[in-house]
Amino acid sequence: MQTPSRPKTSTRWETDDMEAKLTFLLLAPLFSAAAIVLFFRSGRRLPAFISVASAGLCLAAAVSAMVSGAGLYKSSFELFKLGGFSFNTGLLFDAAAANMLFVVCFVGFLIHVFSVGYTDGEESRGRFFAGMSFFMFSMTGLVLSSNLFMMFVFWELVGFSSYALIAQYSSTEAAKAASKKAFIVNRVGDFGFLLGIIFCWSAFGTTDFSELAKIVEADPAKASTGMGMLLLCGFLGKSAQFPLQVWLPDAMAGPTPVSALIHAATMVAAGVFMMVRLCSFGFLTPAVLDAVLILCSLMAFCAGLWALGQTDIKKILAYSTLAHLGLMGAGVALGYDLAMYHLTTHAFFKATLFLAAGSIIHACAHEQDIYKMGGLFRRMPATSVAALVAAFSIIAVPYFSGNYSKEAIVLASYARSASGALLDKVSFWLVFAAAALTPIYMFRLFFNVFCGTPRSESAEKARESSLWMTLPLAVLAAYSAVGAWSYAYDLEWLGGKWDFLMPAAATKFVGGLLKLHSPSPDSAEAARFVAGAALVCTFAGVGIAYVLYGRNRGYDPVRKRLPLVYGILEKHGWFDCVYGWYVAKVQQRVAVFLATFADLLFIEMLCVRGSGVVCAVVGHGVKKLHACSCNSQVKWLVFGAILLFALVFAS
């Protein structure tokens, strides 16, 4: 998955063919969105057909580019030039871009198909599919960007399209508030990201990824910690990491396919992809990577705890996404290959879980409270099996996709902690605890939703969804089970004794880390112990979830016995309360102060009205001059002549 250092030799025909494929891949969803908005916005079936067709063509073009493409393709041309600044656009297609494009196009296409059944009979269907196509255009442009400025442009387009899609149900106050919150919070991170890009251009004179790679390779000391911290802000906002994570749970107010596409598989992963891009040419200093490691490890642990306090099925999955984005961020610091590895597996099993949730919500008359469901395994067998497969993958059951990538990050974190640094040890225990919490909150959801007996009329009447919805679920579930096998490697130096538990619980990269940080013979045994402990925690977590939630109680026992603890988890540490207090008590009062004193006193009173008073006084004086007698005018003329001569002689 590493980006090749040199482009592969290719013929002119191959280059032109690749350029045509990538250009088509980029523009097809844009034309689809434009056609729907201009001509078919009020339609019901045609917008869905156009959007699904464009997503399918994007997938075909992406697969074709991956199969026939060279190791590295790059194109660039100057769009405009202003002084010493030139804005270049171009396409960059390498191993990381190919991996991300496949995730975006494959998952995006299946979610488009699912949406046909989910939005059947809804109003504003044309607007919904236009937004989906525009999002696909924005996301593919971000992945194929050859420089930071172009990436930032598509970065903002992704934010805009997500704002529009979250607000699809604009008649509800929750959707409107969530869309505004997502837009504003992301702008906070994007402001720092933009400052980092400007800093980069002023320091190096370019933002092109290939040129930056050459500069840093020639002199690694040119990589700046301050610049890296500013660029990190974009990742914290887009991938909803501490302290900018508050927008993601609220974004679940949008349609479930939007949650699956934007907030599980692609948009939130854009921040991880950007960090992988920066890491691939060594642009992030060790200090920046240390900050990423501790912030993301803490986010993974806290989000896992907060998921235990939610009753909304989509919010449980949202906090699960936060936790796994934290694991991906930790993977960036441990080795960006690991981040891309988990990004890929996570996209498939989390999209499966969100689409399963959408199928359940659709069948239960839009009920989202897990304690008002139950007994759905018999009523919705296809959805239930798909959700179970994805749950096995996310909790890292051996031989399922999530096992490989998740255990790889755990082992890599352990390998780094062997260096003895306090930061590395704290990060390892946070990562391990986050992995151990996953089976508890996932099977809390599963037992309450699918097992027992129905606890509401909507659950009693639930029936399996249409083929438009179950077929994408089946495909995604299959990939959640076996999709990561092609990425797997064996750790030969571990002795191969644990292959039956984790046939590829780590990549070769992890083995290298273990050798680097723990070259002693005991390191292999320690690694086996950590892997075994993680496996024990997986099945123990399922057991704990069964004891607490597997008896069809219809209520949360933790809430009943530990109300204070549950309240903290339910309010996710009162982050929203703190942010609300800051906005209402601090930011608003500062704004009032600036409006009262700065605006009213300085600008209005001094500048605006003051300038008027000065003009009035001058005008009054000039008026007196014009209204005076002839003798007075002669006197002023003589005075002016004398003053003029004096000035001439003085000079």
pLDDT band of residue 480 (cuts 50, 70, 90) is confident
Average pLDDT, the chain: 79
Answer whether residue 541 shows pLDDT above 70.
Answer: yes
Bridge partners, residue 82, by sequence: 85
79 phi and psi, to 5 degrees?
-85, -50
pTM for this entry: 0.81
Q: Which residue has the higher pLDDT, 246 or 474?
A: 474
Averaged pLDDT, 603-618? 71
403 closest CA partner among 439, 372, 378? 439
pLDDT band of residue 438 (cuts 50, 70, 90) is very high
Averaged pLDDT, 559-577? 79
In the chain, what is the straight-line distance between the N-terminal and C-terminal CA atoms, in Å?
78
Q: 3-class SS at 439? A: helix
Q: Which residue has the higher pLDDT, 10 or 327?
A: 327
- Kindly state the percentage of the chain with pLDDT values over 90: 5
Q: What is the pLDDT of residue 342?
A: 85
pLDDT tens digit sequence for 294-318: 999 999 999 889 988 888 888 899 8
Encoded amino acid at 243, one letter: P
109 closest CA partner among 134, 143, 142, 132? 132
How many angstroms separate the CA atoms of 250 and 618, rounded?
Answer: 59
Q: What is the pLDDT of residue 628?
A: 61
How many angstroms separate the CA atoms of 313 and 134, rounded?
Answer: 27
Answer whether residue 492 shows pLDDT above 70.
Answer: no
pLDDT tens digit sequence for 585-597: 677 777 777 767 7
Q: Where are the beta strands (DSSP E) in 246-387?
A: none
- 74 sits in which H/E element: strand 73-82
Q: What is the pLDDT of residue 385?
A: 92
How many angstroms separate the CA atoms of 310 and 442, rounded?
Answer: 11
Q: 3-class SS at 296? A: helix
pLDDT band of residue 523 (cuts 50, 70, 90) is low
Answer whether residue 77 shows pLDDT above 60.
Answer: yes
What residues have CB less than 8 Å from 124, skipping those under 6 apart? Answer: 168
Q: What is the pLDDT of residue 440?
A: 92
Token output for 566: 């549950």
70 closest CA partner among 122, 153, 14, 120? 14
How many angstroms separate the CA atoms of 647 and 63, rounded?
Answer: 83
Token output for 440: 């508890």
- Contact (Cβ atoms closer than 8 angstroms) between residue 545 and residue 440: yes
Bridge partners, residue 92, by sequence: 74
Range scoring the smallest mean pLDDT among 9-23, 236-250, 591-605: 9-23
Averaged pLDDT, 540-554? 83
| Helix axes 95-118 and 467-482, enclosed angle (nearest 10) | 150
How many angstroms separate the CA atoms of 506 and 452, rounded?
Answer: 37
How many angstroms separate the CA atoms of 395 and 405, rounded?
Answer: 11
As to burial, measured by CB atoms within 10 angstroms (0-12 exposed, 13-18 middle, 19+ buried), residue 515 is: middle
Q: What is the pLDDT of residue 624?
A: 64
DSSP string, 194-250: HHHHHHHHHHHS--BHHHHHHHHHH-GGG--HHHHHHHHHHHHHHTT-TTS-THHHH
Q: What is the pLDDT of residue 531?
A: 78
Q: What is the pLDDT of residue 102?
A: 86
555 phi and psi, to 5 degrees?
-150, 165
Answer whether residue 474 shows pLDDT above 80.
Answer: yes
pLDDT tens digit sequence for 106-120: 888 999 898 888 887
313-337 burial, b for 16+ CB within 10 Å, e for fewer? Answer: bbbbbbbbbbbbbbbbbbbbbbbbb
247 closest CA partner among 187, 294, 192? 187
* C-alpha count within 13 angstroms, C-beta hemisphere, residue 173: 0
